[in-house]
């Protein structure tokens, strides 16, 4: 059943034909004018992805966000009310709102208010988080990313006929963003009925390349490389880097007459086995009659007890059970390991005991290689992939970091920050100094010292610092920043793992004695109001990364203390690296004839 009857014809869409909800060009002008007269609903990123796939038939035969009947049957039996298999609810949750009423039309828009669709509200019904959590995700654990997300969804689902005015605009990788119909048209040119789909949200390494090639050989088919570029798991490699990787591999390492690469704007649910079945159904609509499924397909990671949510092979098993009816066969794959002595990959179960094998885990890819600026070895990944990943994840000493000084006026923030700003470039880092007093002369010109103005000032500095850090720079910020919650906001804007809070802990009496700007004297005489430490509070940090004493230590000593902290964390390269690099070059040359062993030996 999983192989198509005719060796040259693709499997038909599920339910017989592809759903197409996009209105004709003739109807468009009139419908646009009508849409602009209706109340609007702005869709979430997830709903926009769902709408796009509904509109273009990826979820055929489903042609709308689910009504109560469909939704209930999906929960209980993994089927639509029509009896068709459908394992995941595709719903449109909204907050109760007087603008959205039964038997009225509404306009669906994207985040920038662009028109997407007109929807007839034919049903409105309540949904129950616990029921969905248990039936779809098999858990109530809010560590499951979808369960955590569902808490923020509107309490009512709406459903009804959809007329699509415009598909969501996508500007990146347009040449390989193919709808189900466009994909089918391209697959037909291969004149091969067996199409093996590969779903992925990760970079492809040599093991993946090997297993996709094996699957295609085994089925005598075409490989349909169909990565998800919609919402995946937080922390995944960004889709731009991934797609650059897929393109490079398809161009250089696959047989172009047997592979099609196209992007799927799916918002994943990370629902393990049910999601795998959904992936199979979607791929059938794109023309595939096989789906490669390995261990932990669409896995959400581990639960609050540190255990996996689903069994490693539950997904294979569930899709296998529906293969006869759905027409999509499972190509299971086992973990492949590398045999360095034979320079090839093999399935783990076929490797004789005592054979030397090697592998690199995802954690090692990040910690042992990328963070240390080490190129991934060529037995593990293609050089093009190694290059893109090291661009995307530069070593720590080229990643951004923010050093945030806080303390009373006159504590010594600017003085220490200035010393640090000259030491960092000495170690090859580029620095931007954002000094409170200086920022107040341009970026924050006009702001005073009311609580609101101080918060605005600090958030502006935080925003700029976060941008600098995102682009790999060092932002050194020196502002009184007296309020703890605001400093914590800034920490979150930058990302706590790249935020180094430096508390310049100089007692008020000392600052007042220094009184370099004559401000304390004025504040004591009431000439300046709301002066920090005098008549406005200072919340000292509770968990600063570094606390400085400016009485026992000079500015130079304190700046070196911070530099040492940054070096220890890897944000600054230790001076000894130059010697080390020269040494490792020599080792490379000596072992050039034995590439794999040398690279293995490094770790
Ligand atoms: P802030 O930026 O915290 O308002 P400044 O750095 O502008 O403070 O002023 C601190 C003053 O204290 C400077 O005049 C500096 O010379 C003096 N000072 C004395 N000892 C130290 C020290 N160990 N660290 C920093 N500044 C010191
Ligand atoms: P904030 O975090 O309060 O915005 P900034 O570092 O941007 O702090 O600016 C504080 C500097 O402005 C102080 O070093 C001081 O010289 C000057 N200043 C003027 N009025 C005040 C005030 N009311 N409170 C604190 N600093 C003041």
Q: What residue owns the CA closest to ligand 1's atom 14?
A: 516
> What pLDDT is attached to residue 582?
45
Given ligand 2 and candidates 413, 449, 503, which is best to mutate, with the most ligand atoms within 8 Å of its CB? 449
Report DSSP state, residue 442: T
Give me the mean pLDDT over the 509-521 stretch.
95
Q: What is the pLDDT of residue 577?
A: 58
Residue 435's DSSP bridge partners are: 478
Which ligand 1 atom is at minimum distance from the Cα of 511? 12
Handedness of CA 319, 322, 323, 327 (dihedral sign): negative
Average model confidence (pLDDT) for the chain? 92
Q: Indicate whether 415 pLDDT > 70.
A: yes
Which ligand is closest in space to the CA of residue 407? 1
**Residue among 417, 368, 362 nearest 396 (CA):** 368
Between 587 and 68, whose confidence is greater? 68
pLDDT at 583: 46
Which residues contact residue 543 at a Cβ distance below 8 angstroms, ignoring those fewer than 6 apart?
Answer: 501
Q: How far apart are CA 245 and CA 209, in angstroms?
A: 12
Q: How far is CA 151 from the centre of its chain?
A: 20
Look at phi and psi of residue 215 and say left if phi exceeds 0, alpha if psi is from -120 to 50, else beta. Answer: alpha
Per-position DSSP letters for 215-265, written without gaps between them: HHHHHT-EEEEEEB-SS--TTSPPHHHHHHHHHHHHHHHS-GGGEEE--B-
Q: Are strands 162-164 and 115-120 parallel, antiparallel or unpaired?
A: antiparallel
**Count of other CB atoms within 10 angstroms of residue 152:** 8
Residues 6+ apart with CB under 8 A from 241: 203, 388, 389, 391, 392
CB of 478 shorter than 6 A to ligand 1: yes
The pLDDT of residue 334 is 80
Give the pLDDT band (50/70/90) at residue 1. very low
CB of 232 closer than 6 angstroms to any ligand 2 atom = no
Alpha helices of 358-475 — where are they, by DSSP H? 362-364, 383-392, 413-426, 436-439, 451-470
Q: How far apart are CA 362 and CA 236, in angstroms?
A: 11
Among 480, 485, 516, 518, the mutation site with the greatest number of ligand 2 atoms within 8 A of its Cβ is: 480
The Å distance, Cα 515 to ligand 1 centre, comes to 9
State what percent of residues in the chain have pLDDT above 70: 94
Unique residue bearing structure tokens 């706590």: 496
Q: Give just the sign of the alpha carbon dihedral 468, 469, 472, 474.
A: positive
Minimum CA distance residue for ligand 1 atom 16: 415
pLDDT of residue 596: 28
Beta bridge partners of 164: 22, 117
Residue 585's contacts (CB-CB under 8 Å, 6 or more residues apart) are none
Q: Is the pLDDT of residue 107 over 90?
A: yes
Q: Closest Cα to atom 23, ligand 2: which residue?
A: 531
Continuous segment of H or E residues that includes residue 597: helix 595-602
CA 209 to chain centre: 23
CA distance to 147, 161, 184, per residue, from 155 (Å): 14, 20, 38
pLDDT of residue 574: 85
DSSP string across 48-83: HHHHHHHHTTTTTT--SS--HHHHHHHHHHSB-TTS
10 Å Cβ neighbour count for 391?
Answer: 10
Q: Which of 404, 409, 433, 508 gets mutated to test ligand 2 (max ligand atoms within 8 A of its CB)?
A: 409
Which atom of ligand 1 is the closest one to the Cα of 411?
3
Ligand nearest to the CA of 413: 1
The CA radius of gyration of the chain, in Å to the nearest whole number, is 29
Mean pLDDT on 276-282: 98
Distances (CA, A) of 378 to 43, 202, 369, 384, 548: 44, 18, 13, 10, 46
Position in ligand 2 atom list of the atom nearest CA 478: 6
Active site residues: 481
Name every residue whose Cβ is closer than 8 Å to that of residue 204 and which is 6 or more positions away in sequence: 212, 245, 246, 249, 385
Where residue 191 falls among pLDDT bands split at 50, 70, 90?
A: very high
Task: Write the residue with the smallest CA distance to atom 12 of ligand 1.
Answer: 412
Nearest CA to ligand 1 atom 17: 412
For the chain, what is the total number of helices (H) and then of strands (E)? Answer: 21, 19
Residue 591 pLDDT exceeds 50: no
Tokens of 436: 């409170």
How many A from CA of 412 to the centre of ligand 1? 3
Q: Whose CA is nearest to atom 15 of ligand 2?
A: 409
Task: State pLDDT tens for residues 361-390.
Answer: 888 998 889 888 899 999 999 999 999 999
Residue 302, phi then psi, degrees to nearest 5: -110, 155
Instruction: Looking at the CA of 487, name the nearest ligand.
Output: 2
For residue 340, give every residue at least 6 positions away whose Cβ sits within 8 Å of its Cβ, in sequence order, or none: 356, 357, 358, 379, 596, 597, 600
pLDDT digits (tens, 9 = 90+) for 194-213: 999 999 999 999 999 999 99
Query: How far is Cα 402 from Cα 491, in angstroms, rounded to an integer?
Result: 9
Helix, strand, coil shares of the chain as percentages rounded to 5? Answer: 40, 15, 45
pLDDT in tens, 565-578: 999 999 999 876 55
Both tokens assigned to 451: 């609580």
With a 6 Å cutoff on the Cβ, whether 532 touches ligand 2 is yes
Q: What is the DSSP string of 277-320?
A: HHHHHHHHHHT-SEEEE-TTTT---B-TTS-BSS-TTHHHHHHH
Q: Is 437 in the pocket of ligand 2 (CB under 6 A)?
A: yes
Longest distance between any two alpha carbons in the chain, whole Å: 94
With 80 as the cut, is the pLDDT of residue 585 above it? no
Half-sphere exposure of 509 (CA within 13 A, CB side): 1
The pLDDT assigned to 362 comes to 82
Residue whose token pair is 């595939």: 288
- Asked if the model's pLDDT at residue 589 lies above 60, the reply is no
């Amino acid at each position: 059943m999983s192989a198509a009857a005719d060796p040259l014809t693709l499997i038909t869409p599920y339910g017989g034909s592809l759903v197409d909800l996009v209105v004709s060009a003739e109807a468009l002008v009139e419908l646009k004018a009508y849409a602009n007269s209706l109340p609007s609903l702005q869709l979430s990123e997830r709903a926009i992805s769902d709408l796009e796939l509904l509109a273009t038939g990826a979820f055929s035969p489903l042609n709308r966000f689910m009504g109560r009947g469909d939704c209930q049957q999906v929960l209980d039996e993994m089927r639509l009310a029509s009896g068709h298999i459908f394992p995941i609810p595709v719903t449109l949750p909204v907050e109760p709102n007087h603008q959205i009423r039964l038997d009225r039309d509404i306009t669906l828009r994207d985040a920038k208010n662009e028109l997407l669709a007109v929807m007839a509200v034919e049903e409105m019904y309540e949904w129950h988080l616990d029921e969905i959590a248990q039936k779809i995700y098999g858990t109530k654990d809010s560590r499951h990313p979808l369960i955590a997300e569902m808490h923020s969804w509107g309490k009512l689902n709406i459903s009804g006929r959809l007329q699509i005015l415009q598909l969501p605009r996508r500007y990146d990788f347009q040449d390989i963003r193919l709808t189900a119909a466009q994909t089918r048209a391209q697959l037909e040119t291969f004149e091969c009925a067996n199409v093996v789909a590969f779903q992925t949200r990760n970079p492809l390494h040599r093991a993946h390349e090997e297993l996709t090639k094996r699957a295609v050989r085994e089925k005598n088919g075409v490989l349909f490389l169909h990565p998800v570029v919609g919402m995946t798991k937080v922390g995944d490699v960004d889709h731009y880097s991934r797609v650059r990787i897929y393109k490079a591999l398809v161009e250089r390492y696959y047989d172009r007459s047997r592979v099609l690469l196209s992007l799927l704007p799916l918002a994943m649910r990370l629902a393990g086995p049910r999601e795998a079945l959904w992936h199979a159904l979607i791929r059938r609509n794109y023309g595939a009659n096989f789906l490669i499924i390995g261990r932990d397909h669409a896995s959400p990671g581990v639960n609050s007890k540190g255990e996996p949510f689903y069994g490693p092979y539950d997904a294979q098993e569930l899709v296998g059970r529906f293969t006869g009816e759905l027409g999509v066969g499972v190509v299971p794959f086992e973990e492949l390991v590398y045999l360095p002595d034979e320079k090839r990959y093999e399935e783990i179960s076929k490797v004789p005991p005592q054979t030397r094998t090697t592998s690199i885990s995802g954690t090692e890819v990040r910690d042992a290689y990328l963070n240390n600026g080490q190129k991934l070895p060529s037995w593990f990944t293609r050089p093009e992939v190694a290059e893109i990943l090291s661009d995307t994840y530069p070593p720590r000493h080229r990643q951004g970091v923010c050093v945030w000084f806080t303390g009373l006026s006159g504590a010594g923030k600017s003085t220490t920050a200035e010393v640090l700003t000259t030491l960092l470039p000495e170690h090859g880092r580029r620095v931007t100094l954002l000094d409170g007093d200086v920022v107040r002369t341009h970026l924050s010109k006009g702001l005073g010292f009311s609580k609101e103005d101080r918060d605005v000032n600090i958030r502006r500095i935080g925003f700029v610092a976060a941008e600098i850090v995102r682009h790999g720079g060092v932002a050194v910020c020196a502002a009184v920043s007296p309020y703890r919650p605001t400093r914590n906001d800034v920490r979150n804007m930058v990302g706590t793992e790249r935020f180094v809070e430096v508390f310049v802990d100089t007692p008020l009496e000392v600052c007042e004695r220094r009184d370099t700007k004559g401000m304390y004297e004025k504040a004591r005489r009431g000439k300046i109001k709301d002066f920090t430490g005098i008549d406005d509070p200072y919340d000292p940090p509770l968990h600063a990364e570094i606390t400085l004493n400016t009485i026992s230590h000079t500015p130079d000593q304190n700046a070196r203390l911070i530099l040492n902290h940054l070096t220890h964390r890897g944000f600054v390269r230790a001076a000894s690296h130059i010697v080390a690099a020269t040494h490792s070059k020599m080792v490379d040359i000596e072992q050039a004839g034995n590439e794999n062993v040398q690279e293995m030996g490094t770790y």
